Amino acid sequence: MTIADTPGGAGGDVGVEPRRHPGPAAEPTRRKKRSWAFLGLTPFAFYVLAFLALPTILALATGFFDTDGTITLGNIAALFDPVIVNTFISSFWLSALTAVVGAIVGAVICYAMLGARPEGRLRQTIESASSVLAQFGGVMLAFAFISMMGAAGLVTVLLKSTIHFDIYADGVWLYTVPGLILPYLYFQIPLMVIVFLPAMEGLKPQWAEANATLGGTRFTYWTRIAAPVLAPAFFGSLLLLFANAFSAFATAAALISQGSQIVPLQIRAALVSETILGRSNMAGALALGMIVVMIIVMTAYSFLQKRTTRWQR
Amino acid sequence: MSRAATGVRSAPTAGTRRWILAVIGVLFAIPILSMIEFSLRQGLAGGYTLDHWTGLFNPANASRYQVVWTGLVNSLVLAVVTVAIVLFVLLPTMVLVQLSFPSLVRLLEFICIIPITVPAIVLVVGLAPVYSVVAQIFGSSVWTLAFAYGITVLPYAYRTLQSNLGAIDVITLSEAARSLGAGWGSVFWRVLIPNLRRGILAASFISVAVVLGEFTIASLLSRQNLQTSILLMSQTDPYVAVIIALLALAFVFVLLLVIGGVGAAGQKGRRKTRTQS
């Protein structure tokens, strides 16, 4: 409403500025048109309220109620039960490990892409492949890894028959949390390529030239120019990868059918069986715990993102 | 090139590049190749056959694979409704905000990025009660799930549409059309939409790709879509489940390849017009 009342609007783009100072005569009709235009925003506003805001609030709020509808902090307190704490720890190390490895391998791919023609076929293929594979989480990814390294998988059998190496000598670990590492990397690395490539391309050739003119070596270029410039983008991407792994559900759900070793699986258990640790509405409390982690990570991400864009102009 | 020139280079040599990309490419190909190998296996006895592939398209087996076909049809319906939500709810809002409420651009962007922070597994906890109301209003047909999917695709659709919207001068275009006597209807349909064709195409394709791969919400709300049905199928006929997964993957790859092509063609076009002027 405030925008409709003030003719100039608050702040905004400089380029649009001159058009937003209509003469005094135009004022009443313009105001009328604005309030009509506001009506045009209602479908989207209503949609987002009903299917984004409401479910999020409901998800977070149910954690504070028990089955009778009375307010309780019991579910939140249950987040500190050793069983739940352990699932959070598993989620943390799985996300952190796949984020760090994914970020490093992804950055190496981005480095390899430096100097490739931006409109060349190689670039096109890598970008399309990355966007497909970053989306490839879930049931299909689980199938791929079962065919590859399930008990009768191609790689499992080949390793056993050729070099007599049994990857499952100590029992099959594909269907446990360590088994998720490789499948997660399969979508983490491509995501890193997508988010980090623009930053890598922001490195200006002039900086390398300036470095060479001033007598710097390739080593000084990478350590003293490229690394500081790329650091915010790299750590920002790392956080995004962490968030991506932390919130991933489908791959784990398809691979791990027994037990709930990570937080998203614990939420599944809470939703399906209604009770965990003898409590109802535990799903809401777990959702709250997840959201808190996600908000911290994504806030740090957007902070780093702001520093990144400084170099991309 | 002289030694000085090689000192200036920050990019790897062509040899290094090829080596890095080849190693990683091979590693990434192994799981896909394993899926293909698995789909050709005769059975536990060993040996290879095309039977699983041909059997899938044999009408005699239609009832056996009913689950998968139902799931596929459901997912296609969901994809269409989701694209409709993107094009008829999100897109007009974005254009309207750009035209009349420049100060709301940031807010809209913030709203559209929220689904990244609120993962599907969290959203689904709150969606269960919402859907009990939705079922009363619209019934419990499968297409209603698209309301949730519209939210899931919001960040992707917003980003692709916004990059197109930002590249054309919406205000100048619409004011030019208005001063030539066009009504708002024709400004939207005959001036803005044709200019946004590329963004619309890309946003639709990415939405289709995301919807076809969606598992979390469908699974936990006990609805049947492509992903939940291939998981179900894998318990009775793992070969067919893997074949469907391969086909879906190939389809999504082609979709995204087309998006890449559309984007690159647009960039080239823009560059060309810029040099001409």
Q: For B190-215, what is the mean pLDDT?
A: 88
Q: Can you give the pLDDT at residue A181? A: 92
HEC string for A275-289: CECCECCHHHHHHHH
Q: Tally the C-alpha atoms within 13 A of residue A233's C-alpha that lie toward its C-beta.
A: 25
Query: Is the pLDDT reported for residue A3 higher than 50?
Result: no
Q: Are residues A183 and A149 in the same domain?
A: yes
pLDDT of residue A208: 84
Task: Give A-chain residues touching B111 at CB under 8 angstroms.
Answer: 48, 52
Q: Which of A51, A131, A189 sits opposite B256 (nearest CB)?
A: A131
What pLDDT score was predicted for residue A4?
37
Is the pLDDT at A137 greater than 50? The verdict is: yes
Query: Under 8 Å CB-to-CB from A281, ≥6 apart: which residues?
Result: A62, A63, A65, A66, A67, A75
Q: Are residues A253 and A278 in the same domain?
A: yes
Would you state the pLDDT for residue B239? 86
Nearest to A152 by CA among B243, B44, B19: B44
Probe site for chain A from B18, B28, B117 (most A CB atoms < 10 A) = B117
What is the Cα–Cα distance from B130 to B103, expressed in whole angstroms?
31
Report pLDDT for B9. 62
A137 interfaces chain B, CB cutoff of 8 Å? yes
pLDDT of residue A11 exceeding 50? no
* CATH number for the domain whose boundaries are B60-276: 1.10.3720.10
Res A47: pLDDT: 94
Quick one: A128 and A228 in the same domain? yes
Query: CA of A51 to nearest chain B CA: how many angstroms apart?
Result: 6
Pair A83, A185 in one domain: yes
pLDDT of residue B76: 92
From the candidates A38, A51, A104, A237, which should be mutated to test the interface with B, based on the most B CB atoms within 10 A? A51
Are residues A60 and A291 in contact, defined by beta-carbon separation less than 8 angstroms?
A: yes
Q: Which of A60-74, A90-104, B134-148, B217-231 has the lowest mean pLDDT?
A: A60-74
What local confidence, expressed as pLDDT, does residue B89 receive? 94
User: Which residue from B minimizes the CA distance to A48?
Assistant: B151
Q: What is the average pLDDT score of chain A? A: 81
Q: Where along chain B do its domains lie? A: 14-49, 60-276
SS3 A65: strand
Q: Do A23 and A134 have their domain in common?
A: no
Residues of B in contact with A292 (CB under 8 A): none
- Tell which A residues from 231 to 260 touch B, by Cβ distance under 8 Å: 243, 246-250, 253-254
What average pLDDT does chain B have? 83
Closest Cα in chain A, distance from residue B104 (Å): 9
Interface touch B114/A295, C-beta < 8 Å: no
Same domain, A58 and A103: no
Q: State the best of A32, A44, A219 to mutate against chain B, taking most chain B CBs within 10 Å.
A: A44
- Arithmetic mean of pLDDT, B116-142: 88
Contacts across the A-B interface (CB distance below 8 Å): 261
Q: Using the 3D structure, point to which of A20, A40, A62 is the last residue of a domain.
A: A62
The answer to whether residues A237 and A304 belong to one domain is: yes
Q: Do A58 and B96 touch (CB under 8 A)?
A: no
More confident of the two residues A13 and B188? B188
Looking at the structure of chain A, the number of domains it has is 2
| pLDDT recorded at residue B271 | 47
pLDDT at residue B267, as a whole number: 54
Q: Please tell me whether residues A145 and A171 are part of one structural domain.
A: yes
Nearest to A44 among B8, B90, B230 (CB): B90
Q: What pLDDT band is residue A18 in, cutting at 50, 70 and 90? A: very low
Interface test with A, best of B121, B153, B223, B246 (most A CBs within 10 A): B121
The reply to whether A144 touches chain B by the CB within 8 Å rule is yes
pLDDT at B83: 95
Residues A109-124 have a mean pLDDT of: 80
**Is residue A69 one of the residues assigned to a domain?**
no
Nearest in space to A78 (alpha carbons), one of A90, A87, A69: A87
Contact A54, B130 (CB under 8 A): yes
The answer as to whether A200 is a domain residue is: yes
Residue A23 has pLDDT above 50, yes or no: no
CATH, residue A187: 1.10.3720.10
Would you say residue B56 has pLDDT above 80?
A: no
B122–A247 CB contact, under 8 Å: yes
The alpha carbon of residue A282 and the mean position of all alpha carbons in its chain are separated, in whole angstroms, by: 24
Give per-residue pLDDT as tens, B218-232.
Answer: 998 888 999 999 888
pLDDT band at A30 (very low <50, low <70, confident <90, very high): low
| Range name among B171-175, B208-212, B215-219, B268-272 with the lowest pLDDT average | B268-272
C-alpha B205/C-alpha B199 separation (Å) is 10
Domain co-membership, A102 together with A202: yes
Looking at the structure, tell me whether residues A52 and A171 fall in a common domain: no
Of A26-35, A152-161, B62-71, B191-200, minimum mean pLDDT range: A26-35
Cα A195 to chain centroid, rounded = 10
**Residue A67: inside a domain:** no
Show the domain range for A17.
2-62
Give the pLDDT confidence score for residue B272 in this predicted structure: 45
Q: How confident is the model at residue A168 (pLDDT cuts 50, 70, 90)?
A: confident
**pLDDT at A33 exceeding the cut of 80:** no
- The tokens describing B127, both together, are 């969606």
pLDDT band at A32 (very low <50, low <70, confident <90, very high): low
Q: How confident is the model at residue B233 (pLDDT cuts 50, 70, 90)?
A: confident
Residue A182 confidence (pLDDT) above 80:
yes
Of A282-296, B41-55, B191-205, the range with the lowest mean pLDDT is B41-55
Domain match, A32 and A143 both: no
- Is the same domain home to A7 and A145? no
